Amino acid sequence: MGEATAWGRVQDDLRNSMSKAKFQSWIASLEYAGVSDGVVSFDVPTAFIGNYVEQHFGDMIVYSFNRNGQEVSRLRFGVNADRQANPSEAQPVKAATAKTSTADFGHDSDPLGLPLDPQMTFDNFVVGKPNELAHAAARRVAEGGPVTFNPLFLYSGVGLGKTHLMHAIANEIRQRQPELNVLYLSAERFMYRFITALRERKMMEFKHLLRSVDVLLVDDVQFMGGKDSTQEEFFHTFNALVDARKQVILSGDRAPGEIKNMEDRMRSRLQCGLVIDLHPTDYELRLGVLQSKVAQQQDIYPDLKVAPGVLEFLAQRITTNVRVLEGALVRLFAHASLVGLDIDMDQTIDCLADILRANDRKVTVEEIQRKVSDYYHIRLSDMLGPKRVRSFARPRQVAMYLSKTMTSRSLPDIGRRFGKRDHTTVMHGVRKIEDLAQTDSQIADDLENLRRALEE
């Protein structure tokens, strides 16, 4: 089968596994540019479309190419600014930017701001302990009213929701106060447009555009570290806006004081408002995110079901960040829809083996055994020994269950570590606890407490 034919079939697969609107919005704007060395290339009208497709449909596309006989392991997107976005594809983005007046500005083909992701709203943001403060501050800013903290500086490690909150603020303000000029861009984009303005001798226009903004959001400001003239220009923009009591919202991958090669005056400017970090996720937040993303996936694949326990398993095992968690779920749904199966535990472990391995915490079976015996106040030797009375057997099964779900050990391996028991005994124990966790709240609480203690 020729490559182009393979792409035709991939498109058919994709068409069949997502809504017409999604297909039109995203897939129809990809221009297939060929496959080479396992990399399939597409031209896209904007980097945002490429990023979005990669994040949301990348796995599905790779999987479908392979299924259709074309070996592919990666996608590559080249931005071809001459290409107009597919008119219907541009809708969600246009809708979000339509209300801005001069801020998206002048050059229609290359606006100063970046498009907003209409999915990144407060409604779609799951709040938990690790991000509640950042969420509350973001909401306060988005609700308008007097500017109380300026700038708002949000920071966190990768994939924990900074960009989502920035988009949510901008989306919300555009909805509540359509008359305001809201500009969202990344620090890189700022630098690129600044350099272009210098080269094209359009600095006056550039400055004027920036100073006419009512709300400025700049993502990933750490990229300005070491870029002295960009910092200088940004510093002036920033001061002009703050002096005019216009809201500025910034994000970075670390606290302002820790950004390398940032001028002192810039640093202190960044720190003079409210600085808040989003903490790494905890189990509840991860589970909440998964539940909310499942609902979104089920809009695309209304017929797919997720077996009980799968989300809890993922929340427990994938601890890196929300982006990885989201990617895992997208992959699971894509895979399940293409092979026509529901999402159960076996399929999950099979389909996400690489992600699960990468996320393996280094909890050992021995550590689990020790914690569980302490927790139930029994001797380790009784837990591992042959006695079958419930006061030993139940903790033993709990420890087996935790060993299965928190480590990558196989059932036979776990059996060996539990007094040379057979793997079927372990399997029985694991199933027993899985069932009890659904009906017995005491066991569910015990599991939660133990997991927490082991994760520390």
Ligand X SMILES: Nc1ncnc2c1ncn2[C@@H]1O[C@H](COP(=O)(O)OP(=O)(O)OP(=O)(O)O)[C@@H](O)[C@H]1O
Residues that bind ligand X (CB under 6 A): 120, 124-126, 131, 156, 158-164, 253, 289, 322-323, 326
Rounded to the nearest whole angstrom, what is the least distance from the CB of residue 306 to ligand X in the complex? 17
225 carries a ligand binding annotation? no
- How many angstroms separate the CA atoms of 98 and 96, rounded? 6
- How many angstroms separate the CA atoms of 242 and 100, rounded? 20
Rounded to the nearest whole angstrom, what is the least distance from the CB of residue 98 to ligand X in the complex? 22
161 carries a ligand binding annotation? yes
Rounded to the nearest whole angstrom, what is the least distance from the CB of residue 187 to ligand X in the complex? 11
Rounded to the nearest whole angstrom, what is the least distance from the CB of residue 135 to ligand X in the complex? 8
Q: Quote helix, strand, coil % in the chain, to nearest 5.
A: 60, 10, 30
Q: Is the dihedral of CA 321, 322, 326, 327 positive or negative?
A: negative
- CA distances to 14, 70, 93, 129, 206 from 61, rounded to whole Å, are 8, 11, 23, 35, 39
163 carries a ligand binding annotation? yes
Closer residue to ligand X (CB): 51 or 91: 51
Closer residue to ligand X (CB): 100 or 131: 131
- Strands ordered across the beta sheet of 247-252: 182-186, 215-219, 247-252, 152-155, 274-277
Give the residue at shortest CB distance from ligand X: 161
Rounded to the nearest whole angstrom, what is the least distance from the CB of residue 223 to ligand X in the complex? 11
Closer residue to ligand X (CB): 54 or 434: 54
Closer residue to ligand X (CB): 252 or 395: 252
DSSP string of 280-331, one letter each residue: PP-HHHHHHHHHHHHHHHHHH-TT--B-TTHHHHHHHH--S-HHHHHHHHHH
Rounded to the nearest whole angstrom, what is the least distance from the CB of residue 158 to ligand X in the complex? 4
- How many angstroms separate the CA atoms of 38 and 51, rounded? 19
Closer residue to ligand X (CB): 151 or 429: 151
Residue with tokens 């299924």: 67
Closer residue to ligand X (CB): 185 or 447: 185
69 carries a ligand binding annotation? no
Strands 247-252 and 152-155: parallel
Annotated binding site: 159, 161-163
Annotated binding site for ATP: 159, 161-163
